Amino acid sequence: MLRIENLAVSYGRAKVLLDVNLAVNEGEVVAVLGGNGAGKTTTLKTISGLVRPRSGTISFNGEPISGLPSHAIAQLGIAHCPEGRRLFGGMTVEDNLFLGAATPAARKNQHETLDRMYELFPIMKERRKQHAGLLSGGQQQMVAIARALMAEPKLLILDEPSLGLAPKIVTEVFEVIHQVRDAGVTVLLVEQNVAQALGTADRGYVIEQGAVALEGGAQELLKNEELQKAYLGI
């Protein structure tokens, strides 16, 4: 579904991605792991068209997308749930959700999609008239995921969905990611929480210094000694 080849990205003179190669098959959950500043967020932002690549190719369902504006990439079926949730705290939960239906096709179906979101996240229905900024961190993360799903994407990109959340809530977020995949949406996520991410994902990639240092099936990666030492403290 998604194929990234030889991707290089710079911010000014700083080369952040040197050579990233990565693929996501339809129906998978794929985790991108790595230390702070490795280039994980940059990889996601480049897929979504928020950052332009210096070189390399990105294709989605066989179509080249690198260099396209982000609205065109969204229309092809990629939705990005950013790090830090980025909700409009002074707007209601429901209005935040409607903002996610940003493509013409999604806008047409927005009321039906909203009903589906309320089925997936019942608490959101209860809180729909509250300001999003008043919700707990976990609930805000659920709203951010639901807002991205309002675009009816084929591929959902999640940047650090567990950031700053209590362990019990992190488990709930990963359960939601399972449900999203079961509903037919492919998921690419960046995580610092390596154990949980690989517990949920089918496959993973470890990015170090702007390139893929390690890749494989999630269970195989969990058993990898290098990864255990670097990220799991084993």
The Cα 12–Cα 29 span in angstroms is: 32
Q: Of residues 1, 22, 38, 65, which one binds ligand ATP by CB under 6 A? A: 38
**Residue (of 187, 199, 188) closest to 232 by Cα position:** 199
- Report, in angstroms and rounded to the nearest whole number, the Rg of the chain calculated over CA atoms: 17
Which of 20, 24, 34, 103 lies at the binding interface for ligand ATP (CB under 6 A)? Answer: 34
Q: Find where tokens 């951010």 sit.
A: 144
The first and second tokens of residue 110, run together, are 């927005």
Q: Which is nearer to ligand ATP, 11 or 225 (CB)?
A: 11
Site string for ligand ATP, 41-80 (x = CB under 6 A): xx--------------------------------------
Instruction: Report the candidate in 54, 106, 118, 56 with the shortest Cα–Cα distance to residue 79.
Output: 106
User: Residue 204, interface with ligand ATP (CB under 6 A)?
Assistant: no
Under the binding rule (CB under 6 A), the answer on residue 165 touching ligand ATP is: no
14 binds ligand ATP per the rule CB under 6 A: yes
Answer for which of 1, 20, 40, 165 binds ligand ATP (CB under 6 A) is 40
Give CA–CA dist 67/43, Å, rounded: 13
Q: CB atoms < 10 A from the CB of 9, how many?
A: 22
Q: How far is the CB of 79 from ligand ATP (least distance, A)?
A: 18
185 vs 207, beta carbon nearer ligand ATP: 207
Tokens 């589906």 correspond to what residue? 116
- Asked if 36 touches ligand ATP (CB under 6 A), the answer is yes
Interface with ligand ATP by CB under 6 A: which residues? Answer: 11, 14, 16, 34, 36-42
